[in-house]
Amino acid sequence: MNWLIFNQKQSCPTPDELMAGGEYNYRMLFNNTADAIVIADLSTKIIDANPAACRLFGYAKKELLKLSIRHLHPANSIKKTLKVFTQLAKGKGFDKSADLQIITKKGKIKFVSAGFGRIKINSRDCLIAFFRDITEKKESEVLYKTLAEMAHDSIYLVDRGGRITYVNEFGAKQFNAQPIHIVGKSVKDLFPPAVAKRQKANLNKVFRSGQHSYREDLSHFAHGDVWLSTQLTPVRDQSGRISNVMGFSRDITETKKNEITVKNYVSLLDSITNTSSDGILVIDRRGRVSFYNEKFLELWKIPQKLAKTKNDKKLLSYVVSQLTDAKEFLTKVNYLYKHPANKSSDTVYFKDGRVFDRLSLPQKIDGKIVGRVWRFTDVTKDTKIQKSLVKSEQKYRRLFEAAKDGILILNVETGEIEEVNPYLIEMLGYGRDEFLQKKLWEIGLFKDIMASKKSFEILKKKKYVHYDNLPLRTKSGKPISVEFVSNVYNIGRTKVVQCNIRDITARHQTETKLVNSEDRLRAIYENSPIPIVLVGLDNKFISANPAAVKFWGYSEDQLEKLTFADITHPDEVKRDIEKVKLLLKGKISVYSVDKRYIRKDKKIVYGRVNATLIKNNSDKPLYFLTVVEDITQHKIWEREIKQSEERYSILVERSNDAVILIQGGIVKYANPAIEKITGMVPQDVIGKPMVDFIAPQYKSLVASNYKRRMQGERVDTRYEFAVIDKHGKAIPVETNSSVVVLNGQPADMAILRDISKAKEIDRLKSEFVSMSSHQLRTPLTGIKWFGELLLKEKIGKLNQEQRDFVEQIYHSNERMIKLVNDLLDVSHLETGRKFTLNKKPADLRLALSRAIEDQTLTANKKKISMIFGCGLNGKIICVFDFDKIVQMLNNLISNAIKYSPDKAKITFDCQRQGDYWSIAVTDQGYGIPQYQQHRIFERFFRADNIRGVAPEGTGLGLYIARGIVEAHGGRIWFDSKENKGTTFYFTLPVK
């Protein structure tokens, strides 16, 4: 329970409110209130300040009294305060409250909510100012606001009426507007009807269910259609009602576009495989056909029906009969299936004379082998030419001379060059003599493949060697690429080795370009919003799409002069080069990494990189295909979120209040401040059940509040209970709990504040009040007694003037006695001693009549009539303390009179409700404003509307009335409408 009435309120009390309790309360409150109070004269000089003000500003009272109000505010707030002074000095009305900044003795700036009032001291007009420290609230407000304003997503709040109550800059920009133009508008005003209807429905769903919602929709804006991902979250006000829905929308148009691009790629791949002149077959690791193209069926003459069985064994047994050497073919195939990582190529001969090249590779996904790919190329024509060459010496000679390939004939035994054709001489620039009678490895030309006699032996054994892309230098030093094919065969009786050397420099160049010139691929590449580059094996850029140019800020030409390492953040170059090596070695098939690049303007940007090595048909590496997703914004967000988390965790770690997180009834986190309350360090409590630390009499209350809150029920978030400290002592605390998310699950975050000191002060104060009231009663009774003697003229006659004065003394004294009695009752309730009741069965109507009798005089003065309802016809017997109930009824009736205009009616009625009698007192008075009804039973509380009409009053009557009714086991409540009237009800048990 709190003595300090302001603690219950959101804003500072008005001076009227404070003064309502009279000078006595004023002093007490002045000294004990948690709000800072400063009084200054009109020259702004401080003439009084309470202890809370000394604490807030950090000055001793003596020091404060030497200062002016000007010293207490920083420059930006002083104007507001000075304005109040000038208004006051001119006798004008003035601003009653404001949010301000103050500056403490140590120079610290704090945020306060301030309330101002006029007060007369020694008949001088003075200003009384109340300050409440709202620094923490302000700081986190500013923090949240800044975060929202910096966001590159739209963030907005929508109320139940579908109106925008907040939108950040980014969100407003979607409508080409500033936030102030959007706030207040309704969803209807902002979107076309169909979209608005859908959005209203989504919002309503969140309002109804209290659940988050997530969706992806196409929305229409002034600047075009945008795909938005939208997360809607309910926002609750202090009473727990969902007042707004917070929306968080992100533009995912790019992502959606990418989805479409990927689909295009897939369809492109499909059409490429189906128009290919090669037969392609893919078998998974369980021997099932996972893919084949039409050409494959055509080449092997496989009926569709059989293909559809997807059974590789069936296919094999169907096709082998077509081959000249079925057994050899099957052996090789089976070998390859047993060795899934092997690559192999071979030639397959058919009984009908056809010849196929066969290539077989493992199929990999993310470096894992998932099957095997077979590729068959019909090379019958080429083979026929070769055969005819062998057939005719003449033909051979002619071809040899005229061939547009370089040809070398080697002696199979010695490896010496026996023939070289003119084309090769021309191609390499060496003379005929420089070739003849030399061994192939001696001329040093082919050092990559034929370094020694040993490699020649291998060639002989293999009978066939094929190098697709061999770099050579001509005699003049010009670099060229050649295709090198070597075959061993018989001419007549002698075996020869023929090496065909073809200059493919031009082809090689076009091969690289081939990729670029493919129209459709080019279109995709050019239009992709994602940076794509081709990087050569020397790490230099070969090509970059427009998105890449935009991303790095270099033109394509500039990029082509750079290697990827040149634009990579220095810390990451080494790592990337290692990975590129692994790619080249085939140890990994894709290199995926989040990395930093340095743009041309030296800014650091983040990319999510996927690099793959692209090879040609013969498995020779050509270049790297690198796709880079710009994730700079993600990284910035990641960092900001981390920073704000850090900031919050510092706030929590340094908080003076204990903060604990509870999940599944277990304490998951506690900040260091827990030690101040319990003497236990966080490690002592973390991991233990929460109830272990709660005083026995509160265990069930706290556990049930916790459980209900976790189930989503609305439970009072602020209440008091006691925790147990290290020594088992109960420490009273005030808690403020809220539900948060911890590791994806709801958890309870409780902030605990030690209120033992406050409790102790409360107790001392109540005792003081009780004692001083007792002391006051004796002299007051004395005055009453002498007053009566004088008025009854027992001492002597009074003239009219004397009688008037004595009557005034007598009535003031009566009021004083009532106040002292009320204070005594309050201190009884405060100290928890309750009332000692003298309960007896009696007729409640008698108590009512007595109270009405007491009030008749006052009622008559205002010509107010009192009427009994028919519920009061019979006897109303219940068990109660007659005097106390009369006192309580007196209060209800005097209120009804006091707060009604002249000539109004007051009605009484009674009803039996089960084991209770319920009494109603109805008036036609000023009523109680809706917004203050919840505070009516608080001590010293008086509603705003009656202050003018009935300035006298303590605000204690109803507080005591409730104490009396509850001590009887009954209940008291009311219904009221402003300017219509009020009915107070109370119940008393029959027995």
Q: Where do contacts with ligand ADP occur on this chain (CB under 6 A)?
A: 891, 895-896, 899, 923, 925-928, 936, 941-943, 946, 953-959, 982
Smallest gap from residue 869 Cβ to ligand ADP (A): 17
Q: Which is nearer to ligand ADP, 465 or 936 (CB)?
A: 936
Q: Which is nearer to ligand ADP, 723 or 920 (CB)?
A: 920
Q: Which is nearer to ligand ADP, 16 or 357 (CB)?
A: 16
What is Dmax (Cα atoms) for the chain? 169
Helix axes 800-830, 957-967, angle to 10 degrees: 50
Smallest gap from residue 690 Cβ to ligand ADP (A): 39
Q: Which is nearer to ligand ADP, 64 or 896 (CB)?
A: 896
Reported as type and span, the H/E element at residue 658 is strand 658-663
Question: What tokens were used for 763?
Answer: 């107790």
Place of tokens 């007491």: 854
Query: What distance in Å separates the CA atoms of residue 763 and residue 830, rounded to the nearest whole number?
Result: 8
Question: Angle at the Cα of 250 (from 249 to 256), degrees rounded to 5?
Answer: 130
Place of tokens 């078998």: 283
Smallest gap from residue 772 Cβ to ligand ADP (A): 20
3-state secondary structure of 827: helix
Q: Which is nearer to ligand ADP, 15 or 531 (CB)?
A: 15
Q: Which is nearer to ligand ADP, 115 or 955 (CB)?
A: 955
Q: Which is nearer to ligand ADP, 941 or 986 (CB)?
A: 941
Q: What is the CA radius of gyration of the chain?
A: 48
Smallest gap from residue 155 Cβ to ligand ADP (A): 42
Q: Which is nearer to ligand ADP, 157 or 885 (CB)?
A: 885
Reported as type and span, the H/E element at residue 181 is helix 179-182
Question: What tokens were used for 800?
Answer: 């009219």
Q: List CB contacts of 101: < 8 A, sequence separation 6 or more.
A: 73, 74, 76, 77, 109, 110, 111, 112
Smallest gap from residue 659 Cβ to ligand ADP (A): 37
Q: Per-residue DSSP letters for 199-235? A: HHHHHHHHHHH---EEEEEEEEETTEEEEEEEEEEEE
Q: Which is nearer to ligand ADP, 1 or 514 (CB)?
A: 1
Residue sitting closest to ligand ADP (CB):
957
The count of C-alpha atoms lying within 13 angstroms of the C-alpha of 831, restricted to the half-sphere facing its C-beta, is: 16
Question: What tokens were used for 919?
Answer: 């009494």
- Write the CA distances from 348 to 311, 868, 892, integer angstroms: 21, 118, 112
Query: What distance in Å separates the CA atoms of residue 308 and residue 285, rounded to the nearest whole number?
Result: 18
Under DSSP, the state recorded for 871 is G
Q: Which is nearer to ligand ADP, 658 or 946 (CB)?
A: 946
Smallest gap from residue 973 Cβ to ligand ADP (A): 12
- Pairing outcome for strands 590-598 and 604-615: antiparallel
Strands (E), 152-305: 154-159, 164-167, 213-221, 224-236, 242-251, 279-284, 289-292
Q: Which is nearer to ligand ADP, 336 or 920 (CB)?
A: 920
Smallest gap from residue 801 Cβ to ligand ADP (A): 31
CB-based contact 539:518 (threshold 8 Å): no
Closest by Cα among 136, 94, 87 to 115: 94
Smallest gap from residue 774 Cβ to ligand ADP (A): 22
Smallest gap from residue 891 Cβ to ligand ADP (A): 6
Smallest gap from residue 104 Cβ to ligand ADP (A): 37
Q: Which is nearer to ligand ADP, 662 or 904 (CB)?
A: 904
Q: Which is nearer to ligand ADP, 33 or 890 (CB)?
A: 890
Q: Which is nearer to ligand ADP, 256 or 947 (CB)?
A: 947
Smallest gap from residue 895 Cβ to ligand ADP (A): 4
Smallest gap from residue 928 Cβ to ligand ADP (A): 5
Query: What distance in Å separates the CA atoms of residue 615 and residue 343, rounded to the nearest whole number?
Result: 14
Q: Per-residue DSSP letters for 735-770? A: EEEEEEEETTEEEEEEEEEE-HHHHHHHHHHHHHHH
Smallest gap from residue 906 Cβ to ligand ADP (A): 9
| φ/ψ (deg, to 5) at 173 | -60, -30
Query: What distance in Å separates the CA atoms of residue 734 and residue 1, rounded to the nearest whole number?
Result: 10
Smallest gap from residue 978 Cβ to ligand ADP (A): 9
